[in-house]
Amino acid sequence: MGDGSFQFLSGNRTYPRRSLHGQIVHEMGRRIATGDIEPGHSLPSEEVLCAEMSVSRTALREAMKVLSAKGMIESRPRRGITVLDRDNWNALDPDVLSWVHGGRPDGEYMHKLVEVRRIVEPAAAELAAKRATDAELVAIQDCCDNMAKGVGNIDLYIAADLEFHAAVISANHNEFLRPVANAICAAMLSSLRITNPTAIKNRYSLTLHEAINSAIQARDPKGAREAMLAHQAHMSEIMHNVFGDMKEQE
């Protein structure tokens, strides 16, 4: 432990790019997610796609099976490959998440993300204070320490930040919550690069994380919840400054 090995981020596994069909998966996934092909519409036939990309049907089909497994397409004989409605997409899949929100997080996107975090994370902090094992307490502490160490190194700081939040939710021992945490982290990754340069300056962010950590270490559920709420309030403020009005639809 404490080696910065990113143990909790392991859940954010994305489909490997090393193989040819893996590259096709990411390329086509991105195209579909960006709206290049509208839901309900059909893709070219396998034969045409193979020709366009200069790959064999084997590689192409294996790639399509991956996208199909994520609920983005459906392939039927004679009908061809059709893009499914976004409701069917496995939206918390790390790959889908990265394709849909690849690059440019806008205000609306950030607002929705914050909304989910506000719902889930206070409860998660509370549960973590109740249930974390000794090993998990150590892991959470380590993340906090790494954040402190990483004040000068933005990448290290972000990684530790992500791990901290993932570790807290992971300590809930609830398999239904974990994927949500993974998704939050994956989505945070793109946003932190924008907001953290601001957060890292005043060091207040670090203090807030340490407050959460302290409460959890002391097994103080209410305190953990309160500290998490304070942290989120601070995050919201920063985001408000960075992204401007996020159209709170109250």
Partner DNA sequence: ATCTCCCATATTGTAATACAATATGAGCAG
Partner DNA sequence: CTGCTCATATTGTATTACAATATGGGAGAT
Based on the shown chain and the rule CB under 7 A, indicate whether residue 77 belongs to the binding site for DNA. yes
Select from 36, 47, 52, 106 the one that contacts DNA (CB under 7 A): 47
Sequence-ordered list of residues with C-beta below 8 angstroms from that of 35, at least 6 positions apart, any chain: none
Burial (CB count <10 Å: 0-12, 13-18, 19+), residue 198: middle
Q: ∠25-31-34 over CA atoms, to 5°?
A: 130
Based on the shown chain and the rule CB under 8 A, indicate whether residue 134 belongs to the binding site for a second copy. no
Q: How far apart are CA 143 and CA 187, in angstroms?
A: 19
Nearer to a second copy, 94 or 150 (CB): 94
Query: Which among a second copy, DNA, none contacts residue 5 (Cβ within 5 to 8 A by kind)?
Result: none
Question: Do the Cβ atoms of 75 and 67 come closer than 8 Å?
Answer: no
Q: How many CA atoms lie within 13 A of 10 on its CB side?
A: 6
Select from 28, 49, 81, 113 the one that contacts a second copy (CB under 8 A): 113
Query: Which among DNA, a second copy, none contacts residue 20 (Cβ within 5 to 8 A by kind)?
Result: DNA
* Segment interacting with DNA, rule: CB under 7 A, options 27-35, 54-62, 84-92, 157-165: 54-62
Residues that bind DNA (CB under 7 A): 18-22, 43, 45-47, 55-59, 61-62, 64, 75-81
